[in-house]
Amino acid sequence: MRIAIIDGQGGGIGKHITEKLRRELPEHIEFLALGTNALATSVMLRAGANEGATGESAVIYNAAKVDLIVGPISILLPNAMLGELSPRMAEAIASSPAHKILLPLNRSGIEIVGLKSEPLPHLIEELVRRVKEFMA
């Protein structure tokens, strides 16, 4: 199974996701760090991703080649992450046949009704639990 972790800006969220998934999942699972910039990709690679690629072309190319995509919900929003996430990237991720498990972080001015605000570590715990359920 190949899991893409997509993040941008400083890559902090992707780093925490990568570290937690790497600790919790079997070693044969492949993690692909897809960063909107080189810093985000580098941080996720240091956190334990097997491979990494950066930028619009990398995200578009790889979105359809993985089994699962994880990251913040903003990866589906054109021009999110202060404009780092292009409309083409958002479209490729949303159109990917891969299952998506996303963190409901409210950093793009989007509010999702029905969700309660949780600290990031709790959200990542829930993401890991959902990934394990998906794999079962």
What is the number of domains present in the chain?
A: 1
Closest by alpha carbon to 49, among 57, 60, 62, 61? Answer: 62
pTM of the complete model: 0.93
Q: In whole angstroms, give the CA distance from residue 98 to residue 21.
A: 17
Q: Could you list the residue range(s) of the whole structural domain that residue 92 is in?
A: 2-135
pLDDT tens, 36-89? 999 999 999 999 999 999 999 999 999 999 999 999 999 999 999 999 999 999
Closest by alpha carbon to 72, among 27, 34, 114? Answer: 34
How high is the pLDDT of residue 116? 79
Indicate if the alpha-carbon torsion angle 5, 6, 11, 17 is positive or negative. Answer: negative
How high is the pLDDT of residue 107? 67
For residue 107, the domain's CATH number is 3.40.50
Quick check: 33 and 45 in contact, CB under 8 A? yes
